Amino acid sequence: MTQTETVNRQFVLAERPKGAPTKETLRLVETDVPEAGPDQMLLRTEFLSLDPYMRGRMSDAPSYAAPVEIGGVMQGGTVAQVVVSHIEGFAPGDYVLSFSGWQDYALSDGTGVTNLGKSPAHPSWALGIMGMPGFTAWAGLTQIGAPKPGETIAVAAATGPVGATVGQIGKILGCRVVGIAGGPEKCAYAVDELGFDACIDHKADDFAEQLTKATPDGIDVYFENVGGKVLDAVIPLLNPNARVPVCGLISQYNATALPDGPDRMNWLMGQILRKKIKMQGFIIFDDFDHLYPEFAKEMGAWIESGKIQYREEIIDGLKNALEAFIGLLNGENFGKRVIHVGRN
């Protein structure tokens, strides 16, 4: 079924996944389109962002944000168009950045909604390079990583929307940048298109050895998106006083038990102590919300001047969102993955 004016399609949480999400994790249902009451507006979803953090929202384990309830609409950032508005500052036809979730229509009182105007040039970019992923890359690197010219930055998931941006900012700031990605095609893109100095395929049998050769002066900043064997290979290469912004640990999101092998906690803590490593997790809008205007100004200028390249994967149809999300967790995406809900 395509998007209509009378039916609201919704993906709701059917069960909490044990391990990786499956096609049974979310259920597609149909409801009536809600009506906007006083001080409300009706939003029609045009684009839905797919992001790894959504896996955490499916779980009821303690976290920095409340989980989606069973039967609740799956959470997600969206670019939507105002259909009806009873709120000053929002008019029918306006595009907005919102958090409407995995559905065609949603009601909003305007809280947390940003008006993008009638005809933004690239509306979906508000979910990527000019939105949460781009802001995460900029703030995590500049505020926690604090790179200095001539230092070496390593970044995991180097062709994803966060990692690709981290690497390009690192080059703008005068650093040597080494990416870590899954497969020769992604690594070639990181070097040839994004300007990384090197990119190592974490699927290679000799991944750790290749990473060592690519970082002869060690690593000063490691932008962590992955964890697992990638982190194991990076930690010994960190220089004294290295900084590690911890953005995500996608290799662990579907884990149901601790990793095989010996307990590496004491080894990791020893490395942190002896090398005086700064390792800091962050939640972008909790920690750096006040810096968004500075980010938007700087990133906008970099994009306009061609210093930052951006790659999107736009997948048509809300019905394809769950399959696309499962693929995202498996590393199948190449760039920022977005669902064009309004197309069909």
Question: Tens of pLDDT along 182-238?
Answer: 999 999 999 999 999 999 999 999 999 999 999 999 999 999 988 788 999 999 999
pLDDT for res 265:
84
* Angle, CA of 269, 272 and 277, to the nearest 5°: 155
Counting as low any pLDDT under 50, the low residues of the chain are none
Domains of the chain (ranges; CATH) run: 7-127+311-343 (3.90.180.10), 132-285 (3.40.50.720)
pLDDT for res 264:
79
pLDDT for res 251:
65
Round to whole Å and give the CA distance between 168 and 185.
18
